[in-house]
Amino acid sequence: MNRITRRATLGVAATALAAPSLRAQGAAIRIVVPFGPGGSTDAVARLVSPGLTQRLGVPVVVENRGGAAGSIGTDIVAKARPDGQTWLLTFDSHATLAALIPQLPFNPDRDLDPVMLIGGAPYVLACKPDKPFRNITEVVDAAKARPEAVSFGSTGNGTIGHLTMVLLQGRTGTRMTHLPYRSGGLAVNDTVAGHVDMMIGSAAVVHPHVRGGTLRTFAQFGPQRLPALADLPTVAEAGIQGLEAEAWWGVFAPHGTPQATVARMNAALKESLAEEQVRRTMQETQQARLIMSSPEELGTFLQREVAKWGAVVRDNNIRAD
């Protein structure tokens, strides 16, 4: 009787989510990030993984599988067994995949189940401090004076940052040169080095470099000024209305993952994000507005994002790198 009780206690402690991985010695739950190291999505995944490891009772490892606007890593999760051992933590470009890649090897709606919308942060424009741009108007003026001479970096063709700049060019009658990168970290590196005039990225990936003095921001695309960037005007304040773009991070599971398993991961994420140090890092370092939604709320949110940004992809005939 004591042996049975002890086994039952261990099973509860490990939780239903972790149990499948415990059957294979040394197995771990993996969170697939469909982008390279150094970007905000990678940072968020690594920030929450220790708390998830503690709460789920098995190691939680982050696996970077970048490429093709995030579709390579996403495909891995879409085709994984729905057993609670493989999860996707992805970025806002997830909303553009179906429009961006016509021959996508998976269906984002059919093959993935929503788990949580973690939070969001406004997109910002940033440059090396010795670059001449001080506001969005100066960028527009320079691009008009020298079509295609002004360059900007993003995390890839069809990402929300790229699409935001496509809209900006369309509304201002300008042409700029786009340099797509495989991750936010690579875009930052080349911007800091001065190889690209500016970059568009989430406040999350840019802020540490702004704080360190290697980058300077000069515009933000949120609906209002971010508290940590209170002196930085929005593009609406600069006279460009209706051009809002916020980065977001979401977690998905392979379709068919049991609802109880999804609920357990959602709860573990909420508990991990609510830790004081993690919450502070998300808000102050990643510049994120925490949402920590239900699976249903992420599903509804994603539908709106797909409709909004998918139209930009189709209207401008944009394809993945």
Provide mean pLDDT across the span 241-268: 96
**Model pTM score:** 0.82
SS3 for 111-132 is HEEEEEEEEEEEEEEEECCCCC
Higher pLDDT among residues 210 and 6, named by residue: 210
Provide mean pLDDT across the span 45-68: 95
pLDDT of residue 321: 67
Question: Could you read off the pLDDT of 281-303 as tens digits, one per residue?
Answer: 998 877 888 999 999 999 999 99
pLDDT of residue 286: 78
Provide mean pLDDT across the span 78-84: 97
Number of C-beta neighbours around residue 213 at 10 A: 8
CA dihedral of 106, 253, 313, 224, whole degrees rounded to 10: 180
The alpha carbon dihedral of 111, 115, 117, 118 has a sign of negative
The answer to whether 124 touches 187, Cβ cutoff 8 Å, is no
Q: In whole angstroms, what is the distance from residue 53 CA to residue 260 CA?
A: 18
Least confident of 59-63, 143-147, 228-232: 228-232
3 pLDDT higher than 60: no
Domains, the chain: 2-120+248-315 (3.40.190.150), 122-229 (3.40.190.10)
Question: Could you read off the pLDDT of 152-207 as tens digits, one per residue?
Answer: 999 888 889 999 999 999 999 999 999 998 778 889 999 999 999 999 998 888 88
Alpha carbon of 69 to those of 92, 186, 203: distances in Å? Answer: 10, 14, 20
pLDDT of residue 11: 40
Provide mean pLDDT across the span 81-106: 94
Provide mean pLDDT across the span 272-280: 96
CA-based nearest residue to 221, from 205, 190, 201, 244: 244
Percent of the chain with pLDDT over 90: 72
